Structure 1
Amino acid sequence: MTRKTALAAATLASVVLAGCAGPSADPQPPRELAVAAAEGSAQPHLDLGEDGAAVLSWLEPAGDSYALRVSTSTGDAWSTPGTVATGDDWFVNWADFPSVTPIAGDVLAAHWLVYQAQGFGYDAVMSISTDGGATWGEPFLLHTDGTDTEHGFVTLFPWQDGLAAVWLDGRNMIVDGEFAFENEAGEPLGMSLRYARFDVAGERLSSGELDPLACDCCQTDVALLGGDALLAFRDRTTSEVRDIVVRRLTADGWQAPITLAPDNWVLEACPINGPAIAARDDQVAVAWFSAADNRPLVRVVRSNDGGHTFGDAMDLDSSGSYGHVDIAALPNGETAVSWLRSEADGLALVLRLIDGDGEFGEPVTVATIDTAGPLDFPQMVFDGTRLVFAWTDFGETQRVRSAVVGIY
């Protein structure tokens, strides 16, 4: 079957999407922004600079290697892409993708994944640019454990006068020098969640473990709120419950975790479906996918006190959802959520707005993808007047595509 992606402005029909129109934001028809991404490009990542400009990165083939490319939105176009790095030993995976993140001023940080010389594991490496991406520093390891295990699902973010990173780390699966899935008590071993802080020269300032057992291959996400950072991730208990957790980083360190609207989703495998978090003023919103009791849902919770407490979960999609969510905090306490869901002719990348009172706007299809299952994690950011999207088109010519939806 030929696979294709097409922009669309149609609202969803014949689906179970509860709610009524409410948000003051008025989504306009999606409009494509051409990206100079090569054939075979994939794994897009979006972030925002201090000036509100979107920064898009992706991977593309470069001969027998891969290149990490980056471009910045310039109104109705993307800038000519620059190259962060290239390599022929990179670990390339549709779910565990690289990133380029604005830190402050002309400082950018990037990460990608590299196969280890021995074994099956891979490392997360980072590079820093202090001249707006014109040049990049020597790559260095994000972690220092030296184990032949997996390290990935990285989130980079500005922190104090430098930057910080969180990632999933397999070092706890090494017991007495051997790889193990269980401890002596029969409890599961898996990926831990770890944190490190660096200055803009790349010097490691501190590091540590945040959670000894997290969901093995679910993306992490961070939102900045005042002087704090809020981390969202999918936890994993020894009884295989995989609920969503938020932790706050303050100047005094990491605070105790908060479990959001527990789904009690018991799954003896990773769903490959991490949460997304966004913040504006005192408003915080978190979206995630759940399939507890074999009922696929896209869920959202919000906070009006800066993420100290959260309300009840709201279900945006109760039929056909694949998750792969993203979220943006809008003015006036409104929220935008995107996700992938199953349609009769393939997949749909869906957008829905929620007003400050929790009422839902009509869903909008940003892109339709004629493929049986999700092979991408579409990205969404809000640049002040519009939502910017990026995803991988799996048509006859695979490449990264982008669109904008004006809402104000």
Structure 2
Amino acid sequence: MISASQLAVPCEPGSALPNLTLNEDGTQAILSWVQRNSEGVSSLMISEFVMKSGWTQPEEVVSGDTWFVNWADFPSVSVLDDGTRAVHWLDKISADTYAYGIKVSIKKKDGIWSEPVIPHSDISPAEHGFLAMRSLGDRFYLTWLDGRETLSGKPMTLRATTIDADGTVAEDYLLDDSVCDCCPVDALVSEDEAVVFYRDRDHLGVRDIAWLKDPRISTTSDDSGLIHEDNWILPGCPVNGPAVAGNPDQWATAWYTEADRIDDSEGGAGAVLLRESGKDARDDQVYRLDRGNPLGRVDIISLRDGSYVVSWLEKSGASAEILLRHWVPGSEPGETISIGITKASRESGFPKLILVENLLMVAYTAFDENGTSMIKIWADSLLIFSTRK
């Protein structure tokens, strides 16, 4: 049994942008990250954590010198029920700073990685990113921010598609024609349902967290709504999207806001909020989690007992702490636990959570005394939440 500690990682110094997912039966964690060499070549790396033996030998999936490498918009992995895997990364479309697109490579179990496919039909020099890629069991569901309309002065859009296990890409389609420009997207799926979570943008500049059921996937309804009416009016994008855990009928959302009605502190330091929603929600009260000076960059996972663990970054002097809180719906969130230190700047990225069997893992980017990035993973066998209130 692993008690709260830092796990050894298979990543070289200079690595960054960690992400975590589970294999097809939930018994192994898959870590992905980006490694860059002195010539500016980026490589997407993956390794699996096997409970009895630790990390597998790192595998380089793909590399390139034309990638768009960004602190908030970074690669991910998704796995189908038969073990087929997909990875995604971002590649430049033109020399313009934010002209980039999504590429996806697929690998059958024990096979080789395919040539990349592009999920979006548009290849204009605009932003296509902040992808949420999930398994529908036999095919991949993808939803992302698509900037094809921004070239004519219109808002950022939210679009979606599916990709079969053999790499066949369905036609992409519009979900929302006005969304925040660069806040990460999240999604919950089942075999016959997909719920997408994102930062909306209305004609008055209100940028609250919204959800919608994808009508092309969901067989029960095409509902939509706001997680909460923060009424945060902002002229630009805060680069702080929602994180969600649960299932399409019952989910908890964590998010960041600086709305005056939520955070009335001097200087508007912001707030990290938490709420359960969905038709089977047990507790729809909004809870504030932060200590008063959050950066946001939230993540959340659900535990097997129906409770949740939330992570976020909070400023602490010139640094930032990675904080956790455990929440059982129907009660106040538990004690705040600090599990690591990183920079308060954008280069520290977004910590990511996963639960593999009974092991909670938190992957994040840290820095040594010379400022070189490194990936750290904090892990605990959930004992920390049974001994703290």
* Residues 281 and 97 of structure 1, relative CA distance in 2, 3 Å threshold: closer
* Residues 233 and 304 of structure 1, relative CA distance in 2, 3 Å threshold: closer
**2-structure distance, mates of 1:236, 1:254:** 23
Alpha carbon RMSD of aligned pairs, Å? 2.2
2:228 maps to what in 1?
Answer: 261
**Identity across aligned pairs (percent)?**
33
1:34 maps to what in 2?
Answer: 8
Structure 2 counterparts to residues 43-122 of structure 1, below 5 A: 43-52=17-26, 53-62=28-37, 64=39, 65-75=41-51, 77-117=54-94, 119-120=96-97, 121-122=99-100
Conserved in 2, the CA contact under 8 Å of 1:233 and 1:245? yes
2:386 maps to what in 1?
Answer: none
Conserved in 2, the CA contact under 8 Å of 1:72 and 1:78? yes
Cα shift at 1:163: 0.9
**1-structure distance, mates of 2:194, 2:14:** 35
Conserved in 2, the CA contact under 8 Å of 1:392 and 1:398? yes
Cα shift at 1:331: 2.6
What is the aligned length? 367
* Residues 370 and 242 of structure 1, relative CA distance in 2, 3 Å threshold: closer
**2-structure distance, mates of 1:138, 1:254:** 36
**2-structure distance, mates of 1:373, 1:158:** 29
Conserved in 1, the CA contact under 8 Å of 2:348 and 2:366? no
**2-structure distance, mates of 1:158, 1:253:** 19
**2-structure distance, mates of 1:276, 1:244:** 10
Q: Does 1:393 align with 2:366?
A: yes
Conserved in 2, the CA contact under 8 Å of 1:172 and 1:190? yes
Cα shift at 1:310: 7.2
Conserved in 1, the CA contact under 8 Å of 2:101 and 2:123? no
Mean alpha-carbon deviation: is it higher for 323-332 or for 366-375? 366-375
Mean alpha-carbon deviation: is it higher for 371-380 or for 136-145? 371-380
Q: Does 1:129 align with 2:107?
A: yes
Conserved in 1, the CA contact under 8 Å of 2:71 and 2:347? no
Structure 2 counterparts to residues 5-404 of structure 1, below 5 A: 30-52=4-26, 53-62=28-37, 64=39, 65-75=41-51, 77-117=54-94, 119-120=96-97, 121-132=99-110, 135-159=112-136, 161-175=138-152, 180=153, 189-225=154-190, 227-249=192-214, 250-252=217-219, 255-279=222-246, 283-293=250-260, 294-303=268-277, 305-306=279-280, 311-317=284-290, 319-344=292-317, 346-369=319-342, 371=344, 375-395=348-368, 396=370, 397-404=372-379
CA offsets 1:19-78 (integer angstroms, 9 cap, x no match): xxxxxxxxx963111111122111111112232221110100145211000111111622
**2-structure distance, mates of 1:380, 1:236:** 28
**1-structure distance, mates of 2:21, 2:85:** 11
CA offsets 1:187-245 (integer angstroms, 9 cap, x no match): xx332111011211111224201111111111011123564222211111121111111
CA offsets 1:285-336 (integer angstroms, 9 cap, x no match): 11001111225111111136346x9713111115011110000111332111
Mean alpha-carbon deviation: is it higher for 247-256 or for 383-392? 247-256
TM-score by length of 2: 0.88
> Could you list the runs of 5+ residues in structure 1 that have no partner in the other structure?
1-27, 181-188
SS at match of 1:223: strand
1:216 corresponds to which letter in structure 2? D
Cα shift at 1:153: 0.4
SS at match of 2:55: coil
CA offsets 1:92-123 (integer angstroms, 9 cap, x no match): 11111011111222200111111114544111
> Could you list the runs of 5+ residues in structure 2 that have no partner in the other structure?
261-267, 384-389
**1-structure distance, mates of 2:48, 2:188:** 20
Conserved in 2, the CA contact under 8 Å of 1:334 and 1:354? yes
SS at match of 2:149: helix
Conserved in 2, the CA contact under 8 Å of 1:296 and 1:318? no
Question: Per chain length, whose mean CA-contact separation is higher, i.e. which structure has more relative contact order (CA < 8 Å, sep 6+)?
Answer: 1
1:66 corresponds to which letter in structure 2? S
* Residues 316 and 297 of structure 1, relative CA distance in 2, 3 Å threshold: same
SS at match of 1:333: coil
Cα shift at 1:253: 8.4
Conserved in 1, the CA contact under 8 Å of 2:283 and 2:330? no
CA offsets 1:240-286 (integer angstroms, 9 cap, x no match): 11111112244438723210111000001100001001115954111
**1-structure distance, mates of 2:213, 2:278:** 15
Conserved in 1, the CA contact under 8 Å of 2:136 and 2:191? no
2:360 corresponds to which letter in structure 1? L
